[in-house]
Amino acid sequence: MTTTPAAGTADSRPADLLIVDADIVTMASDRAVVSGGAIAVVDGRIAAIGPAATLRAAYPGSPELDAAGCLVVPGLVNAHQHTTADPLVRSSIPDDVPARQAIFDWIVPLHGAVTGEDDELSATLTAVESLSYGVTTLLEPGTVAHPLRVAHGLRAAGIRARVGGWGWDTPEAPYAMPAADTLAAQADTVAALAGDPLVTGWITLVGHDLVSDDLFTGAAELADRLDVPMTWHLSPGPEDPAAYAAAGRARPVRHLHDLGVLGPRLLLGHAVWLDDAELAALAETGTAVASCPGAYLRLGQGFSRAGRHTELYRAGGRLALGCDSHNAGDTPDLWRAARLFAGLERDRGIPDPLRADEIFALATIDGAAAVGLAALTGSVEVGKAADLVVLDTRTVPWTPRGDLPTQLVWGAAGHTVRDVLVDGRMVVRDRRITTVDVDALREEATHRRVALLRRAGIDIPHRWPTVPATEYCARRTVPDGALPPL
Ligand SMILES: [Zn+2]
Q: pTM (2 decimals)? A: 0.95
Ligand 1 centroid to 53 CA: how many Å?
47
Counting residues of the chain whose pLDDT is more than 70, the rounded percentage is 95
With residue 259 as reference, give the H or E element that holds it.
helix 252-259
Is residue 202 domain-resident?
yes
Ion ligand 1 contact residues with beta carbon within 5 A: 269, 324
Q: Which residues pair with 135 in a beta bridge?
A: 76
Asked if the bond preceding 252 is cis, omega within 30° of 0, the reply is: no
Alpha helices, DSSP H, located in 271-370? 276-285, 293-298, 303-306, 309-314, 334-347, 356-363, 365-370
| Each residue's pLDDT tens digit, 247-302 | 999 999 999 999 999 999 999 999 999 999 999 999 999 999 999 999 999 999 99
How far from chain centre, in Å, is Cα 278?
Answer: 25
pLDDT at 3 exceeding the cut of 80: no
Number of domains in the chain: 1
Please give the helix or strand (H or E) that residue 469 lies within, else none. helix 469-476
106 CB contacts (<8 Å, ≥6 apart)? Answer: 93, 97, 327, 458
- Is residue 441 in some structural domain? no
Rounded to the nearest angstrom, the distance between the alpha carbon of 294 and the centre of ligand 1 is: 11
Q: Which helix (H) or strand (E) holds 419?
A: strand 417-422
Q: How many CA atoms lie within 13 A of 290 on its CB side?
A: 33
Q: Is residue 10 predicted with pLDDT exceeding 50?
A: no
If you measure from the C-alpha of residue 80 to the centroid of ligand 1, how many angstroms do you get, rounded to a whole number? 6
| 392: in domain | no
Q: How far apart are the CA of 328 and the centre of ligand 1, in A? A: 9
Quote the domain boundaries for residue 122.
76-370
Residue 322 Cα to ligand 1 midpoint, Å, equals 9
- The C-alpha atoms of residue 38 and residue 23 are separated, in whole angstroms, by 8
Would residue 198 count as lying in a domain? yes
Helices 147-157, 179-193: axis angle to 10 degrees equals: 30
Q: Is 294 helix (H, G, I), strand (E, B) or coil?
A: helix
Task: Provide the pLDDT confidence category of residue 480 given band limits of 50, 70 and 90.
Answer: low
Mean pLDDT of the chain: 95
| Cα 434 to averaged position of ligand 1 atoms, centre (Å) | 29
Q: How far is the CA of 81 from the centre of ligand 1 (A)?
A: 7
pLDDT digits 0-9 by tens, 107-124: 989 999 999 999 999 999
Q: Which residues of 352-389 are buried (b: 16+ CB within 10 A; e: fewer)?
A: ebbebebbbbbbbbbbbbbbbbbebbbbbbbebbbbbb
445-482: b or e for each residue (b if 16 or more CB lie within 10 Å)? beebbeebbeebebeeeeeeeeeeeeeeeeeeeeeeee
Please tell me what DSSP assigns to residue 71: E
Q: How far is the CA of 6 from the centre of ligand 1 (A)?
A: 49
Distance from the alpha carbon of residue 324 to the mean position of ligand 1, in angstroms: 5
pLDDT at 104: 84
CA of 454 from ligand 1 middle (Å) equals 24
How high is the pLDDT of residue 318?
98
Q: Distance, CA 396 to ligand 1 centroid (Å)? A: 35
Residue 479 has pLDDT above 80, yes or no: no
**Is 7 domain-assigned?**
no
Cα(420)–Cα(135) distance, integer angstroms: 9
Predicted confidence band of residue 171 (pLDDT cuts 50, 70, 90): confident
Q: Which of 302-311, 329-338, 447-456, 467-476 has the lowest average pLDDT?
A: 467-476
CA torsion 132-326-291-225 (nearest 10°) is -90
Residue 226 placed within a domain? yes
Could you tell me which residue, 472 or 473, shows the higher pLDDT? 472
* Within-domain flag for 177: yes
CATH number for the domain harbouring residue 110: 3.20.20.140
Instruction: Kindly report, residue by residue over 389-426, the tens digit of the pLDDT.
Output: 999 999 999 999 999 999 999 999 999 999 999 999 99
In a domain, residue 24? The reply is no
Tell me the three state secondary structure of residue 348. Answer: coil
For 178-235, write each residue's pLDDT tens digit: 999 999 999 999 999 999 999 999 999 999 999 999 999 999 999 999 999 999 999 9
Per-residue pLDDT reduced to its tens digit, 41-95: 999 999 999 999 999 999 999 999 999 999 999 999 999 999 999 999 999 999 9
Residue 206 Cα to ligand 1 midpoint, Å, equals 8
